[in-house]
Amino acid sequence: MRIALNIQYNGASFHGWQRQPDCCSVQETVENAVSKVADESISVVCAGRTDALVHALGQVVHFDTDVQRELIAWEFGVNSYLPKDISVNWARIVPNDFHARFSAVKRHYRYIIYNARTRSGVWNDLVTWISRDLDTDKMLSAAKYLLGEHDFSSFRSAQCQSKTPIRCIDSLELKRCGEFIVLDVIANGFLHHMIRNIMGTLLPIGSNEQPIGWMQFVLDACDRTKAGVTAPPNGLYFMGVYYPQVFDFPLLAPISVLPF
């Protein structure tokens, strides 16, 4: 039997998704909890690995097991073994050909900036604080250069293992909600640090250090050294995954968890 779980987590206490020796990872924590419910060793596969300090509201994982459990056990039972900063949203039985990563057709990331003169005591680990004034209209105009299919080499990290830098951004929105600036990007896939490097390039434009057209120059250069510095990880959220309709279960993140 193949089970899919939709999970959310605050990444502040974890060294990323992937299991690592001598480090606390989301994967290891989830696998330990699922294994206790299954009463056997379970390995999970995720839709998209996240870095240290990155959060998720709609991460999807799958695992295989011969153990018969009610779905409520995979939800509430697993939650009972998880720490307070990880939770299962739902569990579903899926076809054996479903794969959390390879069946995905689109992914949704969100980056949140707290744009205020002083830092927040409440949002500290959940946003990136930028104290200087940012012009969101200019940032949005620059971001629109990225819509469509492009070579995103300028926005990939040196550690990126993808075979191709070509990606297609289907949707890109940037808006201000009071003191928060929110960037939402939906694409068929993402390179390592792609969203953080995009935001790192938008910030100099928003603060009038670079013109709007600089984004087009950076994109065309296909050279990481031409882009802005990598934005911090704590403002990044893995929001959700889109799959073909044949996999009939709720996939999107509970967006209402965030107040914007």
Q: Give yes or no for a contact between 170 and 250, defined as CB atoms under 8 angstroms apart.
A: no
Per-residue pLDDT reduced to its tens digit, 22-48: 889 999 999 999 999 999 999 999 999
8: part of which helix (H) or strand (E)?
strand 2-9
Is 51 an annotated catalytic residue?
yes
- pLDDT tens column, 124-141: 899 999 999 999 999 999
**CA gap 93, 81 in Å, rounded:** 21
What digits encode the pLDDT tens for the residues 201-253?
Answer: 999 999 999 999 999 999 999 999 999 999 999 999 999 999 987 666 565 54
Same domain, yes or no, for 99 and 131? Answer: no
Residue 252 included in any domain:
no
Say whether both 118 and 165 belong to one domain.
yes
Q: Is residue 259 part of a domain?
A: no
Query: In which band, very low, low, confident or very high, does the pLDDT at 260 lie, cut at 50, 70 and 90?
Result: low
Which amino acid is residue 214, in one-letter code? W
Chain segment 106-118, per-residue pLDDT in tens = 999 999 999 999 9
- Evaluate whether residue 256 is within a structural domain: no
pLDDT in tens, 175-190: 999 999 999 999 999 9
DSSP state of 244: -
In a domain, 137, yes or no: yes
In a domain, 162, yes or no: yes
Q: Strands, DSSP E only, in 22-144?
A: 45-46, 55-64, 86-94, 106-115, 128-130
- Of 71, 65, 79, which is closest to residue 7 (Cα–Cα)? 79
Give the range of the structural domain holding residue 208, as residue numbers without chain letter: 106-238
**Are 57 and 165 in a shared domain?**
no
Instruction: Look at residues 82, 103, 124 and tell me which one is the last residue of a structural domain.
Output: 103
How far is Cα 137 from Cα 131, in angstroms, rounded to an integer?
17
Cα-Cα-Cα-Cα dihedral of 22, 26, 30, 31, to 10°? Answer: -40
What is the residue whose two structure tokens read 């050909």? 97
Phi-psi region of 125 (alpha: psi -120 to 50; beta: other; left: phi over 0): alpha
**pLDDT given for residue 247 in this prediction:** 67
Give me the pLDDT at residue 210, please. Answer: 98
CA dist list (Å): 113 to 117, 127, 255: 12, 6, 17
Asked whether the predicted pLDDT for residue 257 surpasses 60, the reply is: no
Q: Is 245 a member of any domain? A: no
Q: Which two tokens stand for residue 99?
A: 């794969």
User: Does 205 map to a domain?
Assistant: yes
Find, among 20, 14, 110, 28, the residue nearest to 61 by Cα: 28
Domain count, the chain: 2
pTM for the whole structure: 0.93
pLDDT at 250: 62
Residue 190: how many CB atoms within 10 A of its CB? 22
| Catalytic one of 51, 85, 151, 170 | 51
* 232 and 141, same domain (yes or no): yes
Instruction: Note whether 188 and 176 are same-domain residues.
Output: yes
251 or 93: which carries more pLDDT confidence? 93
- Let me know whether 223 and 119 are in one domain: yes
